[in-house]
Chains A and B, each alone.
Chain A
Amino acid sequence: MGVKLLLEKANVPGIRTYDVYRREGGYAAAEKALKEMSIEAIVEEVKKSGLRGRGGAGFPAGMKWSFIAKPEGVPRHLVCNADESEPGTFKDRYLMEFLPHLLLEGLLISSFALGSNDTYIYIRGEYAWVATILEEAIIEATKNGWLGKNILGTGFDCMIHVHRGAGAYICGEETALIESLEGKRGNPRIKPPFPAIQGLWMRPTVVNNVETLAAVVPIIKMGGEEYAKIGVGRSTGTKLISACGNINKPGVYEIDMTISVEDFIYSDEYCGGIANGKKLKACIPGGSSVPILPANLLLKTAKGETRYMNYESLSDGGFATGSMMGSGGFIVLDEDQCIVKNTLTLARFYRHESCGQCSPCREGTGWMEKILQKIELGKGESSDIDLLWDIQRKIEGNTICPLGDAAAWPVAAAIRHFRDEFEWHIQNRALSQTSNFGLQHYADPIHVPA
Chain B
Amino acid sequence: MSEQTLFKVTVDNITIEVPAGTTILQAARQIGGAVAPPAMCYYSKLEGTGGKCRTCLVEVSKGSEKDPRPMPKLVASCRTIVMDGMEVKNITSEKVIDARAGVVEFLLLNHPLDCPICDQAGECHLQDLSFEHGKADTRYEFQRRTFKKHDLGKHIQLHMTRCILCYRCVFIADQLTNKREHGILDRGDHAEIATHIEKSLGNEFIGNVIDVCPVGALTDKTFRFKNRVWFLKPMDAHRDCPTCSGRVTLWNRGDEVFRVTARKDEWGEIEDNPDGKPGWICNTCRFDKKHTNDWIIEGPRAISRQSVIAQGHYAGNVGMTQPTEIFKAVNDGRAPHLLMDIHNESEVNLPSVRLSEIEGPSHGTSFNNNSKNA
**Which residue of the partner chain B has the closest CB to A359?**
B106
Rounded to whole angstroms, the CA-CA distance of A353 and B191 in the bound complex is 11
Q: Which of A170, A351, A394, A400 is in CB contact (< 8 Å) with B189?
A: A351
A202 at the binding interface (Cβ < 8 Å): no
Which of B47-55, B244-252, B294-302, B357-365 lines the interface with chain A?
B47-55
**Which residue of the partner chain A has the closest CB to B145?**
A366
Rounded to whole angstroms, the CA-CA distance of A355 and B325 in the bound complex is 46
- Known contacts A360-B54, A363-B109, A365-B189: A397-B142 contact under CB 8 Å: no
Contact, CB under 8 Å: A354 / B51: no
Q: Which of B50, B103, B140 is in CB contact (< 8 Å) with A359?
A: B103
Give the residues in chain A near B190, CB-CB below 8 Å.
Answer: 356
**Which residue of the partner chain B has the closest CB to A400?**
B51
Contact, CB under 8 Å: A353 / B76: no
**Which residue of the partner chain A has the closest CB to B74?**
A398
User: Which residues, 399 to 418 on A, are CB-close (under 8 Å) to B?
Assistant: 399-400
Contact, CB under 8 Å: B188 / A362: yes
Contact, CB under 8 Å: B51 / A367: no
Using a Cβ cutoff of 8 Å, how many contacts connect chains A and B? 90
- Greatest chain B CB density within 10 A among A351, A366, A370, A387 is at A366
User: Which residues, 151 to 178 on A, are CB-close (under 8 Å) to B?
Assistant: 168, 170
Rounded to whole angstroms, the CA-CA distance of A356 and B190 in the bound complex is 8
Give the residues in chain B near A364, CB-CB below 8 Å.
Answer: 106
- Interface size on B, as a range, is 35 or more
A352 at the binding interface (Cβ < 8 Å): yes
Give the residues in chain A near B183, CB-CB below 8 Å.
Answer: 185
Main secondary structure of the interface of B (DSSP, over half): loop
Contact, CB under 8 Å: A400 / B52: yes
Contact, CB under 8 Å: A356 / B51: no
Nearest CB in chain B: distance from A57 CB, A: 14
Nearest CB in chain A: distance from B146 CB, A: 13
Rounded to whole angstroms, the CA-CA distance of A62 and B69 in the bound complex is 25
Contact, CB under 8 Å: A387 / B106: no
Rounded to whole angstroms, the CA-CA distance of A194 and B50 in the bound complex is 17
Contact, CB under 8 Å: A363 / B107: yes
**Which residue of the partner chain B has the closest CB to A370?**
B142
Give the residues in chain B near A185, CB-CB below 8 Å.
Answer: 183-184
**Which residue of the partner chain A has the closest CB to B140?**
A367
Chain B, 133-152, contact with A by CB distance < 8 Å: what is the 0/1 string? 00000011010010000000
Contact, CB under 8 Å: A351 / B51: no
A190 at the binding interface (Cβ < 8 Å): yes
B110 at the binding interface (Cβ < 8 Å): yes
User: Which residues, 343 to 373 on A, are CB-close (under 8 Å) to B?
Assistant: 351-360, 362-367, 370
Contact, CB under 8 Å: B110 / A363: yes
Give the residues in chain B near A170, CB-CB below 8 Å.
Answer: 187
- Greatest chain B CB density within 10 A among A352, A354, A358, A400 is at A358
Give the residues in chain A near B164, CB-CB below 8 Å.
Answer: 359
Rounded to whole angstroms, the CA-CA distance of A355 and B165 in the bound complex is 11
Chain B, 39-70, contact with A by CB distance < 8 Å: what is the 0/1 string? 00000000000111111010000000000000
B102 at the binding interface (Cβ < 8 Å): yes
**Which residue of the partner chain B has the closest CB to A355?**
B187
A-B contact pairs, 6 of them (CB 8 A): A190-B76, A360-B102, A363-B189, A366-B109, A366-B110, A400-B51
Chain B positions near chain A (C-beta within 8 angstroms):
50-55, 57, 73-74, 76, 79, 98-99, 102-103, 105-107, 109-110, 139-140, 142, 145, 164-165, 167, 183-184, 186-191
Q: Which 5 pairs from chain A and chain B are nearest by CB? A: A394-B102, A356-B191, A190-B51, A363-B106, A354-B188
Further 13 A-B residue pairs, CB within 8 A, beyond A363-B106, A397-B74: A185-B183, A190-B51, A190-B76, A357-B167, A358-B51, A359-B165, A360-B106, A362-B189, A366-B109, A366-B145, A367-B140, A387-B139, A394-B105
